[in-house]
Amino acid sequence: MTPLRLIPLLFPIALAAQPVVLVVTADASDYTLAAGGTIAAMTAKGAEVHLIRVTNDEKDSYDLPPEETALRNRDESIEAARILAIKEVHSLGYKADELAAVSFTEIRDRLILYIRRYRPSVLFLPNPYTEYDRTLDRYYTGRAAEDAWRAAALENFAPPLSEAGLRPHLIGEVYYYAQPLDPRRGEPESTPTFVPAPKIVDVGGSLDRKILAAQALKTIQTSMAQRLKDRLQATGRRLPLLDAIDDRSIAKLVEENVRGLARVCAKGSQYEFAEEFRYAGIEFRIPRHYRGQ
């Protein structure tokens, strides 16, 4: 029987000098706003990052048809990824805001393929357990990605992939991300060993790249600015910055939004700007006393 003190030697994943990172996102803007700074910091240290974009963002525009919206958002999502030094963007092409009609196992199995193909040591996925995000595509994508994380390590899932040489693979670290609007996000976990624990990441050094990446999503950000102005006007209010909506005002609005969210995440920490996650590392699967610590 292997002594408990040797168990840590069986888990060298965290020691990889240049880890492979797989990022799964429902839409182009979600991962950028919720995890772009952390991803940029990882690529700056040599990580190889691949992005899986599940939907085509065809509905996220202002006064543009779906086809043009999808094409613009595809190109702009590639530019945003380039700014963050992401190596490849893989778009699955599902229609935005309609994932409820897609088979859960279909999305999961497609994600298993990418996990076994790239064999990442780190996975980013939308947190499907938030209680405030009304973009349901993020919920469906998060559930499928979480299950793909588990299933990709088991031989009897997706047997044709094994036959093609894509063997099972276990990912050692998972970052559950969401934009910081959850009023319960600071609550302590009831079972910290097996529930993903809160993790705060300093993004002060990569915030400028995150802002540039978010600004590169011009179609999405223009839609956000226009709809915000419409809602304010409908209730008799105004934001002076949006009196004239142009490239300058939109870029400034995005910068203020990104900085504001980063400050919210950093509240109560030692950092000025941060991102927050639910983090599942080795502790999530193997209790401390089993690892001889």
Question: In CATH, what number is assigned to the domain containing residue 252?
Answer: 3.40.50.10320
Whole-prediction pTM: 0.87
Encoded tokens for 268: 């109560």
| SS3 labels along 171-201 | CCEEEEECCCCCCCCCCCCCCCCCCCEEEEE
Indicate whether 167 belongs to any domain. Answer: yes
CA separation for the pair 133, 153 (Å, rounded): 29
What pLDDT does residue 88 have? 97
Paired strand residues for 50 = 22, 88
In a domain, 2, yes or no: no
Residue 12: pLDDT above 80? no
Pairing of strands 173-177, 274-280: antiparallel
The answer to whether residue 13 sits within a structural domain is no
- Domain annotation covers residue 240: yes
Report yes or no on 5 lying in a domain: no
Inter-residue contact 206 to 40 (CB < 8 Å): yes
Is-contact 258 214, C-beta < 8 A?
Answer: yes
* Amino acid 179: pLDDT: 82
CA nearest neighbour of 120 among 49, 220, 178:
49
| Diameter over CA atoms, the chain | 72
Residue 4 lies in a domain: no
pLDDT digits (tens, 9 = 90+) for 100-156: 999 999 999 999 999 999 999 999 999 998 877 888 999 999 999 999 999 999 999
Q: How confident is the model at residue 184 (pLDDT cuts 50, 70, 90)?
A: low
Alpha-helical segments (H) within the chain = 28-44, 66-83, 104-118, 136-151, 159-163, 207-216, 218-234, 247-266, 282-285
| Tokens matching residue 94 | 């599902």
Interval 223-275: pLDDT, tens: 999 999 999 999 999 999 999 999 999 999 999 999 999 999 999 999 999 99
Does some domain include residue 119?
yes
Rounded Cα–Cα distance for residues 218 and 6 (Å): 52
CA 80 to chain centre: 13
CB atoms within 10 A of CB 125: 29
* Counted domains in the chain: 1
The domain of 31 spans 19-291
CA atoms within 13 A on the CB side of 235: 8
Asked if the structure places residue 74 within a domain, the reply is: yes
